[in-house]
Amino acid sequence: MFMSLGSRLKKEREKRKWSQKEVAEKIGITNAVLSNYERDYRDPDTETLKRLADLYEVETDYLLGRPDRKKDILRDKDEKDIAKRMEQIREDLTKVDGLSFQGEPLSEEAVESLMEAMEHIVRQTQRINKKYIPKKYREDKDE
């Protein structure tokens, strides 16, 4: 569902139970100007948009209605989990005697290529799984 900039600004303000006057004071604009932003009568300039994003602790891209790339971004914990998985996969592959492909032993280059492909698969799976985590278990519940 598409939400306009004004709708997102209003949603973020109401989520925090702030009045328009409170927000306007916090970012240094008038209540009337904020009202015009929330009703999509005017768009904020770049600096005001940044202040609003900082105040609401969201990205400017979110306020502008751009796709939420946070879902595709893996956090530090995810990166550590992936590194552990990849180390385990490498260990499992190197422990196997006579690792081969179509009857031929795998060269070091082939093993590295296989590891790159496996890492891509692990990363993609991690991203996809993040999309299907029930809302109550997500870190960012209101997205």
Rounded to whole angstroms, how far apart are CA atoms 76 and 95? 29
pLDDT of residue 53: 93
pLDDT of residue 96: 67
Q: Provide CATH 1.10.260.40 ranges for the chain.
A: 5-67
Cβ count near 27 (within 10 Å) = 17
103-to-43, 52, 113, 128 alpha-carbon distances in Å: 65, 61, 18, 34
pLDDT of residue 8: 93
pLDDT of residue 143: 43
Residues of the chain with pLDDT under 50: 141-143
Give yes or no for a contact between 33 and 24, defined as CB atoms under 8 angstroms apart. yes
pLDDT of residue 72: 54
pLDDT of residue 142: 44
Model-wide pTM > 0.75: no
Residues 6+ apart with CB under 8 A from 16: 56
Cβ count near 35 (within 10 Å) = 16
pLDDT of residue 28: 95
DSSP lists the bridge partners of residue 104 as: 101
- The CATH number corresponding to 5-67 among 3.30.710.10, 3.40.50.300, 1.10.730.10, 1.10.260.40 equals 1.10.260.40
